[in-house]
Amino acid sequence: MPRYSLQKRSLVTGGAGFLGSHLCERLLAMGNEVICVDNFFTGTRRNIEHLIGHQRFEILRHDVTFPLYVEVDEIYNLACPASPIHYQFDPVQTTKTSVSGAINMLGLAKRLRIPILQASTSEVYGNPTVHPQTEDYWGNVNPIGPRSCYDEGKRCAETLFFDYHRQHQIRIKVARIFNTYGPRMHPRDGRVVSNFIMQALAGEDITLYGDGRQTRSFCFVDDLIDGLIKLMNSADEVTGPVNLGNPEEFSIAELADLVLQATGSKSRIVFAPSPVDDPRQRRPDVTLARTLLGWEPVVPLAIGLPRTIADFRSRFFA
């Protein structure tokens, strides 16, 4: 059963990661107690060091592929490496984190009869044949490629969430997260925003994979956290999946130009072969989030990108 307390107690798996640390911070600001769970494979203590010592904040070093027994009022399941470099390092463990991790967290939610939110991904759409992507699109995913450990792991996790909902009446929330950026991004995670910023600030060549015409949509982290919390606190019948991302679309070449302008870098742009199964287009349709949650992103790339660059300067080029 849920705990009976004036303060809501939130469990955040992957809480020391980029998104998780921002979510922990926001939940504390809302007055919640927060248990941050992380095995520190990609998350770092530096992301949460400013929260250590807070009277409502706890850290548990734990791998979600093993069961966890705690008493909480809600679960945000963010645990999983989310960049190609990290999730392809140990693809079997990546799949286990998505699938076994979901089973363990859903089991905890079932025991406690509490709501649980799954941080799913736009990667469930694969290389989409529908543009922009709506939640009723089933996707175009390669099940045996080098990205499949993440793509199919997240798809299976969604299946588990909805099966637990139908079979055990678990209150579920599924968010499909599109490209998110902001302070505390990992500097070497292989994502395009962090790659370009690090290369530009270091004066290195900026590497564009493919022809640079492939598109992405970039959501600032503050907007994304707003969406996750609104989804968690929505009516029980709002299960998702719900797209959370910024529908403004940019080509990768346009992003490179924006980074060069914002950093004042003299780096050259060079081209390299496109990775296997790299999507050509990625842009969310956020109509459902607007309708069900009253949510839409408010921070444009022109504002969020300089804030992100300033964070990278202070951490790595001070």
Buried b (16+ CB within 10 A) or exposed e, 255-294: bbebbbebbebebeeeeeeeeebebebbbbbbebbeebbe
The answer to whether the CB of 270 falls within 8 A of the CB of 117 is no
Q: Is 164 a catalytic residue?
A: no
Three-state secondary structure string covering the chain? CCCCCCCCEEEEECCCCHHHHHHHHHHHHCCCEEEEEECCCCCCHHHHCCCCCCCCEEEEECCCCCCCCCCCCEEEECCCCCCHHHHCCCHHHHHHHHHHHHHHHHHHHHHHCCCEEEEEEHHHHECCCCCCECCCCCCECCCCCCCHHHHHHHHHHHHHHHHHHHHHCCCEEEEEECCEECCCCCCCCCCHHHHHHHHHHHCCCEEEECCCCCEEECEEHHHHHHHHHHHHCCCCCCCCCEEECCCCEEEHHHHHHHHHHHHCCCCCEEEECCCCCCCCCCCECCHHHHHHHCCCCCCCHHHHHHHHHHHHHHHHCC
Task: State the catalytic residue, choosing from 87, 125, 150, 181.
Answer: 150
Question: Can you tell me the distance from the alpha carbon of 126 to that of 63, in angstroms, rounded to the nearest whole number?
Answer: 27
Enumerate the active-site residues. Answer: 150
